[in-house]
Chain A
Amino acid sequence: MATEPETPVAASAAEPAVPSLVDRYFTRWYKADVKGKPCEDHCILQHSNRICVITLAGSHPVLQSGKVIKSISYQISTNCSRLQNKVSGKFKRGAQFLTELAPLCKIYCSDGEEYTISSCVRGRLMEVNENILHKPSILQEKPSTEGYIAVVLPKFEESKSITEGLLTQKQYEEVVVKRISATTATS
């Protein structure tokens, strides 16, 4: 799993640690085994203002040690590139609309594996992260911040319901634990 020193430590050991940027503003939600593919877990960071940042969960294969990313592409079909997404105005008109299973990008690894990252939430696509196109390693170094995949704005009416199909931090951790014991049991 990628390590990311997120939590700032206070000046002296006696003071409690200050929460990180992600912890301060976002709630972490998870979707495990997206599209039935084992361990392809996504982490959705939901801001208090309902904006969602789509990221990879620590257990995703791409973030495991030894994986090298060859390239990332936002061309998800012949006619659709997420890079063409343009929004205008306060109400974000013109955005591509995403359903839970909508593909965001494809990650090509040096070992030949190909991974599709999905939206996991319904809403308007605000932007995809172009920084990881130029430097894919950022995705692995900082998956929860600079290495984000996309920003999605759910409909106002749906802002609470979108998390209904997602796992909380605790539930996700349980899923991971179960996997590990299942693996150890079979080995």
Chain B
Amino acid sequence: MFPLTVENKHVAQLLLSTGTCPRCIFRFCGVDFHAPYKLPYKELLNELQKFLETEKDELISEVPNPPPKKIRLQELEDGIDGMDNLSQNGEGKILIIEDGSIASKNSNLNVCNVCLGILQDFCEKEFIKKVCQKVEASGFEFTNLVLSISFPPQLSVREHAAWLLVKQEMGKQSLSLERNDTVQLKEAYKWITHPLFSEELGVPIDGKSLFEVSVVFAHPETVEDCHFLRAICPDCFKPAKNKQSVFTRMAVMKALNKIKEEDFRKQFPCPPNSPKAVCSVVEIECAHGAVFVAGRYNKYSRNLPQTPWIIDGERKLDSSVEELISDHLLTVFKAESFNFSSSGREDVDVRTLGNGRPFAIELVNPHRVHFTSQEIKELQQKINNSSNKIQVRDLQLVTREAIGHMKEGEEEKTKTYSALIWTNKAIQRKDLGFLDDIKDLKIDQKTPLRVLHRRPLAVRTRIIHSMETHYVDEHHFRLYLKTQAGTYIKEFVHGDFGRTKPNICSLMDVTADILELDVESVDVDWPPALDD
């Protein structure tokens, strides 16, 4: 059923004669249900003409006043004389022009002066198919998607001009027109295209989807349509650092809200001019939101940094904890890059034993995201088989909250260590006993000299909760300690030039040094432990 009524005739006639397409006409007549927009373009044009014919004698020519223009594609001259080829069955074709951009050739009507072709060929099946082909070729795995469509800012200007025109026409009929009475271009576009995308790709459109398909339209021919706004509302168009043009959609909308009707009409034609060409598609991109993988790692090497150690472009040590774990994930998830974080970290020469240290890896723009827990287990096995320097456990997919858990673990949770200590003076078992009895020892640590070049100079108070000593020989003993997060163990042992007080040297009145350090546990119960 044709959605327009007698009331809409004047407006529809006015809009059609000034070069506006049927779907935009529906929008300005407040047609707010989806079905009419989804009908094929030719059919809509026919119905519209019939609807308008019933009152007028002469055929409503599809050629608007002013005189007909030839439709020119960006690169091609199609040589179709506007008048001669106005058949009822005119074809709307999608052509790929030399530069690979997609345009439409519609011999029945000029390019719409409001939507610049967006609601003409760019919302029909053929175009959608082309976009979907690109999506499928991109190699992403997805079960839903979110569509992000970007229109050129000058569309808002044209929309505003058309709205003023319609408002004026309706005023003659003593009818008012609010902004909400018209249907927004983007809404109508979504009504039409979402089902088409869903059908073509076989998945639903979901606003919360992590998989985003973005289509960017531009219309170089009318780029300067917006520029007059800057003269009238200069403060809306402040140059932002990263943006190429100061005429963003937001800025243009803001200015249109501010500008007075008279000022607008002085500067911009109402109705808008008919353009020569339709919009072009500058970009069809697919991207998947990051996914997170967490686990715990053990480190068995005393020669492995946590992150790659590169100075002046030269790698100082082979590999790193993060690379040994993440490289496999990057491959399997087909991600672009990763961000590795963990609940604290250990030095190159320190092992991580016990349950290991919690870590979380953000995989950026993954092409594959669905894995069964069995597949994750196999991935864990693969990582563990590929290196004896590190081992991973409890590998699992987690949400973005993971990062918060990491930081909490780093800053708040206790850790336990074991250190092999050398003393210059000969010691007996009894000399160690008093250390076992010390509970919650407060120490003040100035920023260790070894990190002072990259950390602020400060004094940090930390607590050594408890200690346990194991005598080895006259010059060696093992010290097990449980400490507050953020304690520098090496400095607690050797004193760091007396800048950590008290320290083992001062407590025992010896010169002591640390020969070996191991992390025995990181007391965080996250991520959740998995069976086997």
Contact = CB atoms under 8 A, between A and B. Distances in A.
A18 B513 CA distance: 10
A126 interface: yes
Contact of A87 (B424, B457, B475): B457
A151 B475 contact: no
A84 to B, nearest CB: 14
Contact of A126 (B422, B452, B476): B452
Contacts of B472: 11
Contacts of B446: 127
Contacts of B449: 25, 47, 51, 53, 151
A5 B453 contact: no
A8 B498 CA distance: 18
A148 interface: yes
Interface string A129-170: 101000000100000011010010100000000000000000
A131 B515 contact: no
Contacts of B457: 87, 92, 126-127
Contacts of A129: 497-498
Contacts of B453: 47, 49-51, 153
A21 B513 contact: yes
A49 B497 contact: no
Contacts of B515: 8, 18
A90 B455 contact: yes
B450 A20 contact: no
A62 B145 CA distance: 77
B511 interface: yes
A180 interface: no
B450 A8 contact: no
B450 A49 contact: yes
A30 B498 CA distance: 22
Contacts of A126: 452, 457
Instruction: Select the residue from A8, A138, A148, A153 with max chain B CB neighbours within 10 A.
Output: A8
A9 interface: yes
Contacts of B498: 129, 131, 138, 145-146, 148
Interface residues of B, number: 23
Interface string A52-82: 0100000000000000000000000000000
Contacts of A153: 452-453
A88 interface: yes
Contacts of A112: none
Contacts of A148: 497-498
Contacts of A16: none
Identify whether the interface residues of A are mostly helix, strand, loop, or mixed: loop
A11 B497 contact: no
Interface in A1-44: 4-6, 8-9, 11, 18, 20-21, 25
Interface string B433-466: 0000000000000100111111111000000000
B456 A11 contact: no
Given A18-B513, A138-B498, A88 B456 contact: yes
Contacts of A20: 513
Interface in B490-516: 494-495, 497-498, 511, 513, 515
Nearest to A26: B449
B422 A8 contact: yes
Nearest to A12: B473
A11 B424 contact: no
B491 to A, nearest CB: 10
Given A51-B449, A127-B446, A153-B453, A8 B497 contact: no
B456 A89 contact: yes
A5 B511 contact: yes
A20 B391 CA distance: 32
Interface in B223-279: none
Contacts of A11: 472-473, 475-476
Contacts of B450: 25, 47, 49
B314 to A, nearest CB: 15
A145 B506 CA distance: 13
Given A20-B513, A90-B455, A145 B497 contact: yes
B282 to A, nearest CB: 42
Nearest to A17: B422
Nearest to B515: A18
A92 B458 CA distance: 11
A5 B515 CA distance: 16
Instruction: Select the residue from A6, A21, A51, A89 with max chain B CB neighbours within 10 A.
Output: A21
Interface string B359-388: 000000000000000000000000000000
A18 B452 contact: no
A131 B506 CA distance: 13
Contacts of B424: 5, 8
A127 B476 CA distance: 33
A9 B494 contact: no
A53 B452 contact: no
B497 A18 contact: no
B51 to A, nearest CB: 72
Contacts of A18: 422, 513, 515
A153 B455 CA distance: 12
Contacts of A51: 449, 452-453
Given A20-B513, A51-B449, A146-B498, A8 B456 contact: no
Contacts of B497: 53, 129, 145-146, 148
A137 to B, nearest CB: 13
B495 A146 contact: yes
A18 B494 CA distance: 14
A25 B349 CA distance: 14
A9 B423 CA distance: 9
5 contacts: A4-B511, A11-B475, A127-B457, A131-B498, A153-B453
Given A18-B513, A53-B497, 10 more contacts: A6-B511, A11-B476, A47-B453, A51-B449, A53-B449, A87-B456, A87-B457, A129-B497, A146-B497, A151-B449
Interface of B: 422, 424, 446, 449-457, 472-473, 475-476, 494-495, 497-498, 511, 513, 515
- Top 4 A-B pairs, shortest CB-CB distance: A8-B422, A146-B498, A49-B453, A5-B424
